[in-house]
């Protein structure tokens, strides 16, 4: 990332269309350079629709730039995305897979903590995750194929016999202590898509 002017800049995933992140989430955090902020307020620059960060600046301030300019870029590890649309479990799974992702599998306390942070802005009281019950085998399993060693069931969930007339799937409560519950897959909830569990 050599730059002859002495400052280094790199792409981040924010582009202008009322400024939203490249994963289509909206941006409430701003770190504009002071001069850039003044320009943002006084001019409309339709030719500059992407955001770069000055990686050498102490505060990592942002400026906008034409999207076709070649710059290094920053990837982020956070691969979980809260989708604030109300869908059935199957619809949520289809949505994630159309985006080359999957419903989140929470097979460790570390992932549970990460999910708890992601679902803070959920608009439903529960959020779908990639947990499904097999009536034929009488077990719960993750879509990833991981064994369900870590569990955080709410009392009365996950262990009782299930009505198998409609599929039973897992959701995590978006409030309180973020326990897991068993629901009929026809409920319509927000959900978390993930590219890979972290």
Same CATH fold assignment for domains 9-65 and 80-194: yes
9-65, CATH topology level: Mannose-Binding Protein A; Chain A (3.10.100)
Q: What is the DSSP letter of 154?
A: P
CATH superfamily of this structure's domain 80-194 = Mannose-Binding Protein A, subunit A (3.10.100.10)
Whether the Cβ atoms of residue 41 and residue 33 lie closer than 8 Å to each other:
no
> Burial, 162: exposed, middle or buried (Cβ in 10 Å; 0-12, 13-18, 19+)?
middle
pLDDT tens digits, 7-45: 677 767 665 555 666 655 555 556 666 665 555 544 555
> pLDDT digits over 138-171, tens only?
788 898 877 778 889 998 887 766 566 667 899 9
């Amino acid at each position: 990332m050599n730059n002859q002017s002495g400052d280094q800049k790199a792409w981040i995933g924010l582009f202008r269309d009322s400024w939203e992140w490249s994963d289509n989430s909206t941006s409430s955090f701003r770190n504009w350079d002071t001069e850039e902020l003044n320009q943002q307020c006084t001019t409309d620059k339709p030719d500059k629709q992407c955001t770069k960060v000055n990686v050498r600046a102490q505060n990592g301030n942002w400026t906008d730039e034409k999207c076709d300019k070649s710059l290094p870029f920053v990837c982020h590890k956070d691969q979980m995305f809260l989708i604030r649309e109300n869908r059935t479990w199957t619809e949520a799974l289809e949505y994630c897979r159309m985006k080359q992702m999957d419903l989140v599998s929470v097979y460790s306390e570390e992932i549970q903590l990460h999910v708890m942070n992601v679902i803070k802005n959920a608009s439903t009281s529960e959020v779908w995750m990639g947990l499904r019950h097999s009536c034929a085998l009488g077990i719960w399993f993750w879509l990833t194929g991981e064994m369900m060693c870590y569990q955080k069931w709410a009392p009365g969930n996950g262990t009782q016999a299930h009505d198998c007339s409609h599929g039973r799937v897992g959701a995590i409560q978006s409030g309180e202590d973020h326990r897991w519950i068993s629901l009929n897959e026809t409920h319509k909830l927000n959900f978390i898509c993930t590219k890979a569990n972290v």
